Amino acid sequence: MTRAGAKASGFLFALLLTLLAAEVRAQEAGVQAGYVGLPTRANPGDGGLIIGEGSRLHAGVGAEVGYDSNVFYQPSGALSSPILRVVPFLDLTNQQSSQSAQTLAVGVSYDLQATLQYRHLFSDDARIDASNIRDTFSPSVTGVLDFSSNQRLGLALSDSFSRSEEAPYTPGRSEIIRNSNLAAAQVHWAPGGGRIQGTLRYSNEVDLYEGDYHQDRNMDNEIMLDLSWRWFPKTALYVNLSQGFIRYLDDSQSNRDSNPLRAKAGIRGLITEKLSAGVSAGYAAGFYRDGTNPQGFGTLSGSADTVWRPTFLTSISLAYRHDFQNSIISHYYNVDSLHLAVRHAIENRVIVSAFGHYENRRYDSAARLDPNMPIVNAGPTRTDNATGAGLAADYYVKYWAYAGIGYNLVVNSSNAAFVDTTSGQTVSANFVKHQVFARVGLTY
């Protein structure tokens, strides 16, 4: 293998692992973005502009042209449109690898990333202009600062801000704007040989909605304590305790304030050099202000995930989760989710990825009622089955340039129904959305 070929192989494998790591982290949060989007991280290792000792500035831009079959997520009579999406990014970091905080500078590592997604809908339909979604900008900024990550005592600070502008469920109504900021401070302690580890983390997440969901603005403060024993160098038994404090910023929604508590134990890490797994089980409770709380099996919080790397350039991940999740349209919903992702590099030039995601959401009976927007549930409680799937293939002309295609499917099947006040008809909350894209991009 030539030097260029070896460089490309190393880059593709690193990118594969980067994507996989992001996928696993998304699973831990219980939410899947649903689309294998444009790369927004730099190639680890070589590349980038050297700013200082150990610091590199990476930049890149990607563009997608495609078709959206259901712009407004409608159950019938969907509006479709050609679509353009452009995502430039900047990444300033001194980390050797995007997976770990291996520092170049002594004791301190950082990673600052900024992206800006621009989306344009080409359809001439006036409802697109009425909803103000023809041209949208969705920025995101993420910063991570890690002190002494590999020492006995380490401190990590992080902050992530994102703004999204999404089409409303009702054509012509204002867009759904969400501003979200997640800040976290973490202390990590590993005395002696590092067999026993402890992590204490405080996080603050603010969700600010604009438009129809403005009264669902909320803030979540959470304290987490994680204690683990490294059974093997890369396998640990752990207990995890977290206490959250969710407060709605609108006084009319204060009855939905809650103090979610989770206590679980499990194992996580490598089983073999190619197989990693995590299993946990525990107790979860919501402690909502009005007395609402998950019941029975809903108080069980459990998860199981595994990642298998049969070859150097292939990874397969499977994850299952059972828990309850706070909901802005009710108090909470009990969720069972299943996620599968496969990624493979072919001939050191092509990266193929596919994913499938399914969630069964069972909302509590005390769903938020809006007198201006009548809702009629077909059953005693609302149940949604959300399904997502995607496929993407990227060909790397050079290690810094790629071209590819992508497909994304989003499906929601619900027993909830709404009353159309104009026609008096009952409309469901079901929708099916297809997206296909062709894309090109540069990363340096």
Q: 355-414: which residues touch another protein (CB under 8 A)?
A: 361, 367-368, 370, 372-375, 384, 386, 412, 414
Spatial strand order in the sheet of 375-377: 375-377, 416-419, 426-428
Q: In the window 94-113, what residues touch another protein (CB under 8 A)?
A: 97, 99-100, 102
Nearest-approach distance from CB 166 to another protein, in angstroms: 5
Show contacts with another protein in window 261-280 (CB under 8 A): 268-270, 273-274, 276, 278
**Comparison of 196 and 393: residue with beta carbon closer to another protein:** 196
Task: Give Cα separations from 62 to 26, 67, 118, 403 (angstroms).
Answer: 22, 17, 11, 9
Task: Please report the sign of the dihedral spanned by the C-alpha atoms of residue 41, residue 47, residue 53, residue 57.
Answer: negative
Taking the least distance from each CB to another protein, the nearer of 401 and 428 is 428
Q: Closest distance between another protein and the C-beta of residue 403, in Å?
A: 25
Nearer to another protein, 381 or 440 (CB): 381
What residues numbered 172-211 form the site for another protein, per CB under 8 A? 172-173, 176, 178, 180, 182, 184, 188, 197, 199, 201, 203, 205, 209
Which of 274/440 has CB closer to another protein? 274
Range in contact with another protein (rule: CB under 8 A) among 79-87, 253-261, 316-324, 424-432: 424-432
Do 233 and 196 contact (CB within 8 A), yes or no?
no
Residue 158 makes contact with another protein by CB under 8 A: yes
Cite the beta strand spans of 364-425 per DSSP E: 375-377, 383-398, 401-414, 416-419
Q: How far apart are CA 111 and CA 21, in angstroms?
A: 16
In this complex, which beta carbon is closest to another protein, that of residue 49 or of residue 126?
A: 126
Nearer to another protein, 384 or 394 (CB): 384
Q: Which is nearer to another protein, 169 or 395 (CB)?
A: 169
d(Cα 225, Cα 209) in Å, to the nearest integer?
A: 30
User: Which x/- pattern over 18-37 shows residues binding another protein (rule: CB under 8 A)?
Assistant: ---x--xxx-xxxxxxx---
Residues 40-69 that bind another protein (CB under 8 A): none
The candidate with the shortest Cα–Cα distance to 320, out of 300, 294, 295, is 300
Tell me the C-alpha to C-alpha distance, in Å, between residue 242 and each of 25, 222, 263: 18, 7, 7
Give me the DSSP letters along 99-162: SS--BSSSSEEEEEEEEEEEEEE----HHHHHTT-SEEEEEEEEEEEEESTTSSEEEEEEEEEE
> How much is the CA Rg of the chain, to the nearest whole Å?
23
Q: How far is the CB of 142 from another protein (least distance, A)?
A: 9
Minimal distance in Å, beta carbon 255 to another protein?
A: 17
In the complex, least distance from residue 231 CB atom to another protein, rounded to whole angstroms: 9
| Residue 243 touching another protein (CB under 8 A) | no
Minimum Å gap between C-beta 52 and another protein is 24
CA distance 322 to 348: 38
Q: Given phi > 0 = left and psi -120 to 50 = alpha, else beta, which region is 132?
A: left
Q: How far apart are CA 17 and CA 31, in angstroms?
A: 20
Per CB under 8 A, does 284 bind another protein?
no
Cα angle 258-259-260, degrees, rounded to a multiple of 5: 105
Residue 418 contacts another protein per CB under 8 A: yes
What x-and-dash track marks residues 115-154 binding another protein by CB under 8 A? -----------xx--x------------------------
Q: Tell me if 321 sits within 8 A of 293, measured CB to CB.
A: no
Determine which residue in the list 55, 164, 221, 387 makes contact with another protein, applying CB under 8 A: 164
